[in-house]
């Protein structure tokens, strides 16, 4: 398929590059670092060779979210966003941008979001999970009360929020002790992000802000295949609801969430996601440079789905969601 749009596509600046060093064996780091620091050359060749018209770019992980000092986090976010705006300006028909945000301070993050969307033309924000605030052990999730004004701003700006994974901090990772292979994209990324998304649903966030749209990568971080159980566990037992949300989790998932194919190139999984959330809420992505563009594109172009759904997932859903002038 020609004209695909991807929206979990990462870059790094020198200050955040080392955050990605542990995700590949040492002998692959030279290649990965080259991919992360490149925007206009190697990346573009991969796009051209595999029918990708556009990438919406975002900073690598955990980057800003792992800087406990709010002032330092804000400084790095501004630096990354200014760099990204310069890159997009060189080829706006091929690249667009997600803002990195210092959510260590909700007001600071709101100001940077508004600057990026209103002044720089960014298409939304991508945030790498929880933020560490003031100390490495103080992890803050975005269902907390101090983020009410931030979510209000997101809704008013009418831009999506991409909740991207990060690993849990070491002191919260006992379940993985002795099994480091379970960290990162194998399992810990998905578990951490799914729980964060469920917290947002349960908090009543989408009752207060029904137009909010959250994006999850990697075919929904496992949520599509567990949504029925989340709402219906032990259904014969009548118990009072213990969280503020007014609707079922499934309703929020189908109305306030999109998922992408990033790093999860499996047709059976895609079809199951289509049955759970609908083809209108799935978006093509590759997870470059941690995954290969050709692996994503070759799989997607040959996946046994209808051409109408392929066009939606590969292009038109993203064009509509991000109001792209294509």
Active site residues: 287
Alpha-carbon distance of 57 to 45, in angstroms, equals 16
The set of residues, in sequence order, having a beta carbon less than 8 Å from that of 272 and lying 6+ positions away, is 224, 225
User: What is the maximum span of the chain, computed from C-alpha positions, in angstroms?
Assistant: 59
Going 265 to 269 to 274 to 277, the CA torsion angle's sign is negative
- First vs last Cα of the chain: how many Å apart? 16
Query: Considering only CA atoms, which of 284, 152, 305 is closest in space to residue 215?
Result: 284
Q: State the CB neighbour count (10 A cutoff) for residue 191.
A: 17
The set of residues, in sequence order, having a beta carbon less than 8 Å from that of 127 and lying 6+ positions away, is 64, 65, 100, 101, 103, 142, 161, 162, 163, 164
Alpha-carbon distance of 294 to 92, in angstroms, equals 22
Going 192 to 160 to 153 to 212, the CA torsion angle's sign is negative
Determine contact, residues 245/206, Cβ cutoff 8 Å: yes
Determine contact, residues 150/117, Cβ cutoff 8 Å: no
């Amino acid at each position: 398929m020609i004209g695909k749009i991807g929206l979990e596509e990462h870059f790094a600046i020198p200050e955040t590059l080392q955050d990605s060093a542990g995700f590949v064996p040492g002998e692959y780091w030279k290649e990965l670092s080259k991919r992360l620091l490149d925007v206009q050359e190697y990346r573009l060749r991969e796009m051209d060779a595999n029918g990708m018209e556009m990438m919406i770019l975002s900073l690598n992980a955990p980057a800003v979210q792992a800087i406990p000092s709010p002032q330092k986090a804000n400084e790095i976010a501004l630096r990354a966003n200014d760099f990204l705006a310069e890159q997009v300006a060189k080829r706006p028909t091929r690249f667009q941008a997600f803002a990195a945000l210092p959510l260590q301070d909700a007001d600071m993050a709101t100001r940077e979001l508004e600057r990026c969307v209103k002044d720089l033309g960014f298409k939304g924000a991508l945030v790498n999970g929880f933020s560490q605030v003031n100390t490495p052990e103080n992890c803050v999730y975005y269902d907390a009360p101090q983020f009410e004004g931030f979510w209000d701003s997101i809704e008013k700006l009418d831009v999506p929020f991409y909740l991207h994974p990060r690993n849990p901090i070491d002191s919260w990772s006992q379940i993985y002790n002795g099994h480091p292979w379970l960290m990162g994209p194998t399992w810990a990324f998905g578990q951490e992000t799914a729980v964060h998304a469920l917290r947002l649903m349960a908090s009543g966030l989408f009752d207060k802000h029904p137009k909010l749209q959250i994006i999850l990568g990697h075919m929904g971080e496992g949520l599509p295949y567990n949504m029925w159980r989340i709402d219906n566990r032990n259904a014969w037992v009548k118990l009072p609801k213990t969280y503020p949300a007014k609707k079922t989790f499934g309703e929020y998932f189908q109305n306030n969430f999109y998922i992408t194919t990033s790093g999860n190139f499996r047709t059976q999984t895609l079809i199951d996601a289509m049955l759970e959330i609908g083809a209108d809420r799935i978006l093509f992505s590759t997870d470059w440079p941690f995954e290969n563009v050709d692996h994503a594109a070759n799989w997607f172009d040959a996946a046994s789905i209808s051409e109408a759904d392929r066009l939606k997932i590969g292009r038109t859903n993203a064009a509509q969601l991000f109001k792209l002038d294509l």
